[in-house]
Amino acid sequence: MTINYSDRIPNNVDLGSNRTLQRALEHWQPEFLKWWEELGPKDFQVADVYLRTATSVDAKGWATYGYVRMPEYRWGIFLNERDPNRRIGFGDNFGQEVWQQVPGEYRATLRRLIVTQGDTEPASVEQQRMLGHTAPSLYDLRNLFQVNVEEGRHLWAMVYLLHAYFGRDGREEAEELLERHSGDADKPRILGTFNEPIRDWLSFFMFTYFTDRDGKFQLKSLAESSFDPLARTCQFMLTEEAHHMFVGDTGINRVVRRSLEVMHELNTDDPQVIRNAGAIDLPTVQRYLNFWFTSSLDLFGSETSSNAASYFANGLKGRPDEAQYEDHIAVEQAYTLELPDGSGGTKSEQIPMRNAMNEVTRSSYVRDCEIGVKRWNRVIEKAGHSFRLALPSTRFRRSIGNWAGVPTTPEGVPMSAEQFAAHKQAWLPSESDQTFILSLMHGVHQPGKMAAWIAPPDRGINNNPVDYEYVKLH
Ligand SMILES: [Fe+2]
Ligand SMILES: [Fe+2]
């Protein structure tokens, strides 16, 4: 029996007209499905899940909703429409025509960038595979699976580029994307953060708020690329990515709201009393926030980077929203970094702007992270409490860059290792915090029911009520 892959794989790249590409994807698809069954969401493969499936890139309606068993999800390939007038937007080749094929001199670098992005997509599915059992509601269970299938589609998006533009080494890289696994001792995922399992839903919400947002900024940088198929692929991925961050943003919001309800009912802000009532106290939310925000900051790389400078010079990877800058060449500008001086203080250092691109992107990311924090704080303020959540300084608990291993307060004031150790419990999730959070994790799988540690969402998915049966378990 021959399978028509252009039918099985929804796409807007005219897959049916490219036999070579079709054959390459025919070989890869069963491997992907095998990976999904082995390392995708554990034990829910036969459930009917109310999922969104991308079917086009039309701004007015790009997705359909319906019940799907996850292994039958139609992972498609979508690139934003080609703009025939698009020009290179930054770097040494500014203003020239964008590339429809990979230039030989940038082949290895572009492949590496695509593989690194691609690697994070299945990694997060692997990290989250156990969470279905402890979902606080069917609504949340469905959102988890929505995020998971879309990360699977993002893998497809990168594999399409590898197959379509990088020939044999591209196909080999596509296979390796299924061979590395999160946390695997021999073949781990490329980036450190993606090798830690996510065991609880507070971490999942933090991950989707902070780490998926790192993904957003990486995609925004690649969406500026002179390699037009990569840019158009990433532009469309951003459309889906927005929902992942929505899950994190509203998830944290609901945790905070539930905490405030309990504080109100019991007229207390004593963390232990709130915990005894089955909710999560706000200082614990802050500690998880500190952990996930800082681990996501590391994903942007070192403050000073000659790689980032050459990506920019060559037009491979730009700044998020490059159009907002006046100078797209950025050779004459400088960027001032505040660095540790090695004796407990800080010093300023000027570096060429192109070498500071990681830091420029990280700063945009931090500003974007602030938006949710403000929203959560408004909820706390309205409830009449003085507690405020805050993003720690970008110097705090860093493992990469100039501040790596430099002990500081969450505000970024350098301190001794002994002082840091003495305060660590107050700033980062302790073992007992983790034990407590894990103790709350019990699956709630009846329509409309919520776990006691989280408030219901304001509304359901696609105009359905909150108590809709978002996942039909069998
Ligand atoms: Fe993704
Ligand atoms: Fe995502």
- pLDDT tens digit sequence for 322-348: 999 999 999 999 999 999 998 989 999
Ligand 1 mean position, distance from CA 184 (Å)? 20
User: What are the angstrom distances between the C-alpha of 122 and each of 177, 354, 442?
Assistant: 8, 31, 25
Compute the distance from residue 13 Cα to the ligand 2 centre, in Å.
Answer: 22
Q: What is the pLDDT of residues 123-167, one digit of tens each?
A: 999 999 999 999 999 999 999 999 999 999 999 999 999 999 999
The C-alpha angle 368, 121, 309, rounded to 5 degrees, equals 60
What is the reported pLDDT for 5?
Answer: 59
**Quick one: average pLDDT of 202-220?**
98
Given a contact cutoff of 8 angstroms between Cβ atoms, the answer to whether 224 and 322 are in contact is yes
Q: What's the CA-to-centroid distance between 399 and ligand 1, angstroms?
A: 23
Lowest average pLDDT, out of 3-12, 25-34, 361-370, goes to 3-12
Residues lining ion ligand 2 (Cβ < 5 A) are: 212, 241, 244
* Ligand 1 center to 150 CA (angstroms): 7
* For the CA of 244, the nearest ligand: 2
- For residue 384, pLDDT over 80 is answered with yes
pLDDT tier at 193, thresholds 50, 70, 90: confident
CA separation for the pair 45, 227 (Å, rounded): 37
Q: How far is the CA of 121 from the centre of ligand 1 (A)?
A: 5
- b/e per residue, 214-242, with b = 16+ CB within 10 A? bbbbbbbbbbbbbbbbbbbbbbbbebbbe
Distance 155 CA to ligand 1 centre (A): 8
Confirm if 408 and 414 have CB atoms less than 8 A apart.
yes
The one-character DSSP state at 102 is -
Task: Lowest mean pLDDT of 56-65, 84-93, 205-214, 293-302, name the range.
Answer: 56-65
CA dist list (Å): 391 to 49, 179, 286, 315, 377: 35, 36, 9, 32, 12
Give CA–CA dist 396/417, Å, rounded: 13
Ligand nearest to the CA of 122: 1
Kindly state the DSSP code that residue 309 receives in the 8-state scheme: H
* Spatial CA neighbour of 470 closest among 150, 53, 65: 65
Ligand nearest the Cα of residue 248 is 2
R_g (Cα) of the chain, nearest Å: 23
Above 90 in pLDDT, residue 8?
Answer: no
| Percent residues over pLDDT 90 in the chain | 92
For the stretch 394-438, pLDDT in tens is 999 999 999 999 999 999 999 999 999 999 999 999 999 999 999
The mean pLDDT of the chain is 96
Instruction: With beta carbons less than 8 A apart as the criterion, state whether 456 and 447 touch.
Output: no
What is the structure's pLDDT at 4? 60
Q: Which of 180-189, 192-201, 278-287, 390-399 has the lowest mean pLDDT?
A: 192-201
Q: How far is the CA of 102 from the centre of ligand 1 (A)?
A: 23
* 107-117 per-position pLDDT tens digit: 999 999 999 99
Cα of 413 vs centre of ligand 1, distance in Å, is 34
Q: Residue 2 — pLDDT band, cuts 50, 70, 90?
A: low
For residue 215, how far is its CA from the centre of ligand 1 (angstroms)?
Answer: 6
Q: What is the DSSP letter of 405?
A: T
Instruction: Give the distance (Å) from ligand 1 centre to CA of residue 419.
Output: 38
Residue 306 CA, ligand 1 centroid: distance in Å:
26
3-class SS at 266?
A: helix
Mean pLDDT of 228-255: 97
CA distance 392 to 172: 41
What is the pLDDT confidence band of residue 3, given thresholds at 50, 70 and 90?
low
Look at residue 387 and tell me whether its pLDDT is greater than 60.
yes
Closest listed ligand to the CA of 212:
2
pLDDT band at 61 (very low <50, low <70, confident <90, very high): confident
Going from the Cα of 236 to the center of ligand 2, the distance in angstroms, rounded, reads 12
Spell 190-211 as b/e; 16+ CB within 10 A means b. bbebbbeebbbbbbbbbbbbbb
Q: Cα(146) to centroid of ligand 2, in Å? A: 10
Checking DSSP bridges between strand 471-472 and strand 48-54, what pairing results, if any? Answer: antiparallel
Ligand 2: distance of its center to the CA of 172 in Å? 24
C-alpha of residue 282 to centroid of ligand 1, in Å? 29
Is the pLDDT score of 76 beyond 70?
Answer: yes
Q: What is the distance in A from the centroid of ligand 1 to the CA of 336? A: 32
Collapsing DSSP to helix, strand or coil, 23 comes out as: helix
- Whole-Å CA distances, 15 to 82, 158, 170, 304: 16, 15, 17, 41
Q: How far is the CA of 390 from the centre of ligand 1 (A)?
A: 26
Measure the CA angle with vertex 337, ends 331 and 339; round to 5°: 145
Distance (angstroms) between ligand 2 centre and the Cα of 208 equals 7
Q: Measured in angstroms, how far is the CA atom of residue 24 from the centroid of ligand 2?
A: 26
Taking Cα atoms as reference points, which of 360, 42, 24 lies closest to residue 221? 360
Between the CA of 395 and the centroid of ligand 2 the distance, in Å, is 25
What pLDDT is attached to residue 308?
98
Residue 1 pLDDT grade (very low, low, confident, very high; cuts 50, 70, 90): very low
CB 236 within 8 A of CB 57: yes
Angle of helix 357-382 relative to helix 228-266, nearest 10 degrees, comes to 30
Ligand approaching nearest to the C-alpha of 117: 1
Q: Any idea which ligand is nearest the CA of 218?
A: 1
CA of 158 to the centre of ligand 1 (A): 10
Distance 125 CA to ligand 1 centre (A): 10
Ligand 2 centre distance from Cα of residue 237 (Å): 9
